[in-house]
Amino acid sequence: MRKESALLLGLLVFVALVGCAADPAADKPDAEVSEAQPVTEPAAEGTTLGFSDDSKITWVGSKVTGSHDGGFNAFDGEITLVDNDPTASAVNVTIDTTSLWSDDERLTGHLKSPDFFEVEAYPTATFVSTAIEAAESGYTVTGNLNLHGVEKSISFPAEITVADGSVSVLASFAIKRFDFGIVYPGKTDDLIRDEVAITLDLKSSPR
């Protein structure tokens, strides 16, 4: 009887481990995080562009039992394009955190609460670039992210395309929410992962 109980317990543990949902951030490059850096204006005067209506900022968060898609419906900012050269240019983004959405209405409300984004206290999040450097594949964008009242420098890979005076930026990477003071753990049997997959799909429009 004891052997049967031990076998059953082992089987349950095995099923639980196998049943853990995949981490959607696992195949994304981790953003490098450090202390916030000084912001400087582009060395030369450039063309100021806004973001088109089809630009998107989305994320995927996950826990032991599954994942959820989400994003922000309202954000604004500028791309300062200098000599059609991304490395001489700059980008800044202001996100209305109250526009946060997810694939679950109840979850959306919880994410806006003090357990997560605390949108009443921190209604905006900002990103201001401090450097854009050419990399082996595409570019590396570095800038100060101010999220949940915490400002840190992050660096992430991006594809930047300049054509006919317009710019598109496509980036997919992972950040750790704990780095920005968002530390709600979830339930003990369904813990929420630290890493969140972020996708930026930004397209310029004339100002």
Q: Where are the alpha helices (DSSP H) in the chain?
A: 2-18, 105-112
pLDDT digits (tens, 9 = 90+) for 21-45: 688 788 899 999 999 999 988 877 8
With beta carbons less than 8 A apart as the criterion, state whether 197 and 24 touch. Answer: yes
Tell the CATH superfamily of the 20-206 domain.
Lipid/polyisoprenoid-binding, YceI-like (2.40.128.110)
Q: d(Cα 142, Cα 33) in Å, to the nearest integer? A: 9
The full length of the chain comes to 207
pLDDT average, residue stretch 81-92: 96
Place of tokens 């994942």: 67
Phi, psi (5° rounding) for residue 99?
-90, 10
pLDDT average, residue stretch 177-202: 93
What letter would DSSP give residue 178?
Answer: G
With beta carbons less than 8 A apart as the criterion, state whether 171 and 159 touch. Answer: yes
In this prediction the pTM is: 0.87
Q: Is the pLDDT of residue 166 over 70?
A: yes
Domain boundaries, the chain: 20-206
> H-helix or E-strand containing 130?
strand 124-134
